[in-house]
Homo-oligomer: A and B are copies of this chain.
Amino acid sequence: MDRTQDRTPRRSAARGRYTVGDERRARILDSAVEHFAERGFHASSLARIAKDVGITQGGLLHYFRSKEDLLVSVLEHSEAQDHERFFSHAPDSAVELFAVLVDLAAYNSARPGRTKMFNILAAEAGERGHPAHEHFVRRYRTVINYSLAPVQAAVDNGELKPDTDCEAIVTEVAAVMDGLQLQWALAPETYDMPGRLRTYLDRLLRSLTVDGSGLPETA
């Protein structure tokens, strides 16, 4: 491990160095996910995160200027990944939205570190002064708005009942996903999170559609 590279400013690095820097940055983010997942933000230590990557705390501070900066970077990075994988295309229907959410739940159950980190940070962020507070306030607003459009469209085109309270529905869907994730984290090997979400969304849809139809088998 060449620790001298920790102190090489990225902006002055040659092309080859950028690659080393990017790779190290990615490994710091991965290590931070594991630490935040296990102990939360407050009890995580920059020194221990750095040690797991094989660098010094000073080396880590070359990439992220503080623990708060690292936290925000971890959250933005994983949000960007989710956006690219699941949310880059706006769903055209409630069925399509619900199918994407089941896929997301399946993906979340396959990456326990990231998902447990989400559970803890979302809970910690209830504290006004927490460095992720604003992130989570904004995140829920984004999730609600993203989900609201296709549900409202399904009401407008007569697929869902006209008296559907769209905002209540999408708030509830977000709550179910978070709540199932808490239960799942207690027994990730045996708890079928995407299956339970699918059961819920199928019943929800049956109660909302004008013709009583639920999620298609393929969704």
Q: Which A residues lie at the B interface, using CB under 8 A?
A: 37-40, 42-43, 116, 119-120, 122-127, 133, 136-137, 140, 165, 168, 171-172, 174-180, 182-183, 185-188, 196, 199-200, 203, 206-207
Contacts and interface: CB of A to CB of B under 8 A. Distances in A.
Copies of this chain present in the complex amount to 2
B199 A168 contact: yes
B183 A171 contact: yes
A56 to B, nearest CB: 23
Nearest to A184: B126
Contact of A40 (B43, B165, B174, B179): B43
Contact of A199 (B37, B136, B165, B185): B165
B186 A126 contact: yes
User: Dominant SS at the A interface?
Assistant: helix
B174 A196 contact: no
A182 B126 contact: yes
Given A120-B123, A123-B122, A185-B123, A203 B207 contact: yes
B168 A174 contact: no
A147 to B, nearest CB: 13
Tell me which of A178, A180, A186 has the highest count of chain B C-beta atoms within 10 A of its own C-beta: A186
Given A116-B127, A172-B196, A133 B186 contact: yes
Given A174-B179, A179-B175, A183-B175, A116 B120 contact: no
